[in-house]
Amino acid sequence: MCLRCSTPLPAEPDEVAWVCAQCGQGMVLDESSGLVALEVKYTDVLAPNATGYPHWVFDGRVTVKRQTYSGNRASESENFWGQGRRFCIPAFTCPHDELLENGTRLLRQPPPLREGPPTGFKPVTLSASDAIALAEFIVVAAEAERSDMLKELQFTLETSTPELWIFP
């Protein structure tokens, strides 16, 4: 039931977040608190009747310590992560390789976050906590893509609170 107007939510088993069709209230299923209010944000580049794609968006600071067999790219890594990064993690069901590819691409080229009007979107099936775990995997993937021979990687990831954004 909607937290604001008590309209039934058409929830499917794998879904973790919704917007009430009646009043527009966003809600997320929190592991410890149950159903809680959630602000859902829509980018201004979505067409009014388009179906959007939900993404968990948060800022991250990554500190990397890496060892290589050869071709050390540590300075390249430090320059990339040193300025902080915005993570945009797909929150909809898609194949694992697509999830990783989209998450890595959006890490390198994050979309502008300007709010626009609401529109429909694909079901949200990835929780915010799972998005943070996936961000760690994306850090590993980004480091593995460097043109050196990575031997060992240690890193820390500090994040802001994830927000749910709907992208085209």
Domain containing 72 equals 39-167
pTM of the predicted model, to two decimals? 0.92
Domain-embedded: residue 9? no
% pLDDT > 90, the chain: 74
In the chain, the number of structural domains is 1
Angstrom distance (rounded) from CA 1 to CA 44: 29
> HEC states along 34-90?
EEEECCEEEECCCCCCCCEEEEEEEEEEEEEEEEEEECCCHHHHHHHHHCCEEEEEE
Q: Does residue 109 fall inside a structural domain?
A: yes
Percent of the chain with pLDDT over 70: 100
**pLDDT, tens only, 28-87:** 999 889 999 999 999 999 888 899 999 999 999 999 998 888 877 778 888 999 889 999
Residue 103 lies in a domain: yes
Q: Residue 19: beta bridge partners?
A: 26
Q: What is residue 115's predicted lDDT score, i.e. its pLDDT?
A: 95
In a domain, 2, yes or no: no
Mean pLDDT of the chain: 93
Other Cβ atoms less than 10 A from the Cβ of 9: the count is 17
- Answer yes or no: is 17 within a domain: no
Residue 6 lies in a domain: no
Q: Collapse the DSSP code of 148 into the 3-class scheme (helix H, G, I; strand E, B; otherwise coil) and give the result.
A: coil
